[in-house]
Amino acid sequence: MPRMVDLAHSLHRIFGFTAFRPGQEAVVKDALAGRDVIALMPTGGGKSLCFQLPALLQAGVTLVVSPLIALMQDQVRLLEDNGIAATFINSSLPREAVQQRIAAMLRGAFKLVYLAPERLLMSDFLTGPLEQLAAKPGINAFVIDEAHCVSEWGHDFRPEYRQLSTLRRRHPRVAILAFTATATSRVRSDIIAQLALREPAVHLSSFNRPNLFYDVHQKDAGTYAALLRLVRAGGSGIVYCLSRKRVEEICEQLTSDGIAARPYHAGLDAEVRRANQDAFIRDDVQVIVATVAFGMGINKPDVRWVVHYDLPRTLEGYYQESGRAGRDGDPARCTLFFGAADIRTADFLIQQKVDPDSGEPLEEEQRIARQQLRQVLNYAEATECRRAIQLRYLGEEYTPPCGTCDNCCEPRKLEDRTLEAKQLLSCVARLAQRHERFGAAHVIEILRGSRSARVISRNHDELSVHGIGKNHSTQEWRNLIRALLHQGLLAETQDGYPVLLLNAESWRVLKEERSVQVARAARATTSARRESASATAASLDNGDRSVFEVLRALRKQLADEHGLPPYVIFHDATLREMAQQRPTTLHEFSGIRGIGEGKLARYAERFIEAIRQAT
């Protein structure tokens, strides 16, 4: 394995970075040591570098399994612009091109080859090119990108990913590196099992994205006007909708209001989808209005805001989709609008989960989907720190206030609910003493003194807590349960049968070792409380900003000339540093973050000349 001083030198020489981001170095070391790896790194955390750098420092070829064509193309474009030999093989290529790339791969012409799982798992590919490649020039690693797709508990399960364990059976000595930006502990365990990882090095980076501001608003007559104000505040953005019809409606409204917007959904022709996506990533349009089909393969780093115009399907999916904002580390905003109609739409979509042959409901999938929907609704209606809720769902503890969500910036008045919490927790405890477990609805029935058949048949009307909370409405009890779950004072199973469980913190409340403070219920709002601000403008003075705009225009010109998205040339952060430092020699230019040998040779003279003329 290269010495760390060599790693640092290679990092700067190839990618132009003077230091690793948090968590990257340890993953790179384990990959170079030939270990199986599962690495969870947040969107924008630099997970691609963790397998790209080891691939370049070892003999042989690294094969990268990627679920989307757009994702492969984007990664290969970035690598090629850095002077790295990489390619992709997927269904977008004609047969002749596929054969040419396979032949070049077997000659050792590439260091990284991106493949769709369907292509990699074809029997003639497994027994032909893959076997030949293993013999010479050799396979140094299989990389499974977006590894959460292997798990049915993940937010984007793909059945073909389940077959990737074939790689372990056929090539037991080749390391498997699994990467994902989001996965619960259950999904992580599933990834390890399904990919047959052997004593993998597990790397868990923080899921916290401190540059993102989260806010939630109930829908009303002013919702579209609030969206329009946010869009007009500037910056590229994504609007997510649940249905194709809503996508088209919102896109038409924005276009009629003078906004450069394009739609994206599965009902559009593939060429139209590709053209609309390219227009967005190349900064030819400001807004893409899309269903959740959009974004997984997008690496656009300068998305300044993401709006969910409808309730997302899962909390994990929401974290992933909203996380497409601010990948460059600059401030960005994530806004969610929701209303009662969203719940009906989501439930209708859940009912469509049926067996394709018999038409019978897939009851387990529907049950899990409904629990996930409740979790999203609880998030939307929460009064606690939104960042803390998301991170706790992903298995990470966070101590609020975060200072970057609506609930922390405009906290509601706290009320002492210790007594009610003890009553509720006591009810759960009494049921546990009888070796019984129930969900929120039944516990609330007991507390409110219900004499329903379900309560009477189980003799729960004889519990000492029966009727103890009859002075509070069902909704008040639901709000309290939601708050206790979000504060970690109560637990809930995640298997589709959500029953309430006590944890260590529950007993602290019951023993009067801590109090329970709950914010008043969230109020409706007609508009977003914070408008999006340009992170770039906020960090540059007038002189530097004018230079930045000159460099930005040059970047767009070069991108159009080469048929690339502007961010492939340079990120905004790199242009911002150029505008501030104003390098006029190759040596000075090479010191700007994000400029390696490839970009220095390709772009330095044009940008240095632009800086000279602008100053």
What digits encode the pLDDT tens for the residues 171-207?
Answer: 999 999 999 877 778 888 899 999 999 999 999 988 8
**Is residue 249 one of the residues assigned to a domain?**
yes
Same structural domain for residues 400 and 351? yes
- Segment among 39-43, 398-402, 502-506 with least mean pLDDT: 39-43
Amino acid 191 reads I
pLDDT score at 153 = 55
| pLDDT of 226 strictly over 90 | yes
Domain assignment of residue 78, yes or no: yes
Per the structure block, which two tokens stand in for 411?
């906290």
Asked if the structure places residue 379 within a domain, the reply is: yes
Q: Does the residue 527 lie in any domain?
A: no
Please say if the pLDDT value at position 531 is more than 60. no
Reported confidence tier of residue 486, pLDDT bands at 50, 70, 90 = confident
Mean pLDDT of the residues in the chain: 88
Asked whether residue 323 is domain-assigned, the answer is: yes
Q: What pLDDT, on a 0 to 100 scale, did the predictor assign at position 525?
A: 43
**Residue 526 resides in a domain:** no
CATH number at residue 431: 1.10.10.10
**Domain boundary, last residue among 484, 519, 554:** 519
Please tell me the distance from the alpha carbon of residue 237 to that of residue 555, in angstroms, as a whole number. Answer: 20
Alpha-carbon distance 428 to 408, whole Å?
30
Binned at pLDDT 50, 70 and 90, residue 2 comes out as: low
Average pLDDT over residues 473-499: 85
For range 425-440, the mean pLDDT = 94
Q: Looking at the structure, do residues 194 and 321 belong to the same domain, yes or no? A: no
What are the counts of helices (DSSP H) followed by strands (DSSP E) for the chain?
A: 29, 17
Predicted model pTM: 0.73
Is the same domain home to 434 and 512?
A: yes
Residues 299 and 320 in one domain: yes
Residue with the two structure tokens 């969910």: 308
Residue 491 lies in a domain: yes
**Bridge pairing between strands 491-492 and 500-501:** antiparallel
Token look-up 């474009």 returns 77
Tell me the mean pLDDT in the region 263-272.
91
**CATH classification at residue 565:** 1.10.150.80
Cα–Cα distance for residue pair 198/172, rounded to 1 Å: 10
133, pLDDT greater than 60 = yes
pLDDT score of 523 = 47
pLDDT for residue 460: 96
Collapsing DSSP states into helix, strand and coil, what is residue 44?
coil
Ramachandran assignment for 563, one of left (phi > 0), alpha (psi -120 to 50 degrees), beta (any other): left
pLDDT of residue 155: 52
Three-state secondary structure along 458-494? CCHHHCCCCCCCCCCCHHHHHHHHHHHHHCCCCEECC
User: What is the model's pLDDT at position 550?
Assistant: 93
Q: Is the pLDDT of residue 156 over 90?
A: no
CB 13 within 8 A of CB 597: yes
Exposed e or buried b for every residue in 401-412, given b needs 16+ CB within 10 A?
Answer: ebebbbbbeeee
pLDDT score recorded for residue 529: 43
Q: What's the pLDDT at 593?
A: 87
- The answer to whether residues 248 and 150 belong to one domain is no
Which range is least confidently modeled, 75-89, 289-303, 363-377, 593-607? 289-303
- Are 592 and 464 found together in one domain? no
pLDDT-derived band at 362 (thresholds 50, 70, 90) equals confident
Going from the C-alpha of 507 to that of each of 7, 189, 568, the distances in angstroms are 49, 29, 53
> In degrees rounded to 5, what are phi and psi of residue 307?
-115, 130
Q: Is pLDDT of 5 > 60?
A: no
pLDDT in the model for residue 524: 43
pLDDT at 242: 87
pLDDT on residue 297? 58
Residues 405 and 420 in one domain: no
Judge if 183 and 225 occupy the same domain. Answer: no
From first CA to last CA, the distance across the chain in angstroms is 46
Mean pLDDT along residues 379-395: 89
CB-based contacts of 302: which residues, under 8 Å, 6+ apart? 235, 236, 327, 328, 330, 567, 571, 572
Among 550, 530, 554, 555, which residue's Cα sits nearest to residue 540?
A: 550
**CB of 286 within 8 A of CB of 239?**
no
Q: What is the largest CA-CA distance in the chain?
A: 85
Shared domain for 418 and 404, answered yes or no, is no
Q: Are residues 173 and 25 in the same domain?
A: yes
DSSP state of 521: P
Range 560-578 average pLDDT: 89
Domain housing 372:
212-409
The strand pair at 212-218 and 236-240 is best described as unpaired
269 alpha carbon, distance to own chain's centre: 26
> How many residues can be counted in the chain?
615
Q: Would you call the peptide bond into 172 cis, given omega within 30 degrees of 0 as the criterion? A: no
Question: What's the CA gap between 345 and 234, in Å, rounded?
Answer: 31
Which of 386, 409, 432 is the last residue before a domain boundary?
409
**Range in 7-16, 79-88, 368-377 with the lowest mean pLDDT:** 368-377
Confidence of residue 520 (pLDDT cuts 50, 70, 90): confident
Q: Say yes or no to pLDDT of 495 above 80.
A: no
In terms of pLDDT, which residue wins out, 507 or 153? 507
Residues 231-249 have a mean pLDDT of: 93
Q: What is the CATH classification number for the domain harbouring 248?
A: 3.40.50.300
If asked whether residues 192 and 220 sit together in one domain, one would say no
pLDDT value at residue 254? 97
534 inside domain:
no
Provide the domain count of the chain: 4
pLDDT higher than threshold 50 for residue 305 = yes
Res 356: pLDDT: 83
Q: Report the C-alpha dihedral over residues 401, 405, 410, 411, rounded to 10 degrees.
A: -40
Give pLDDT, residue 530. 44
Q: Are residues 130 and 269 in the same domain?
A: no
Mean pLDDT across 575-599: 90
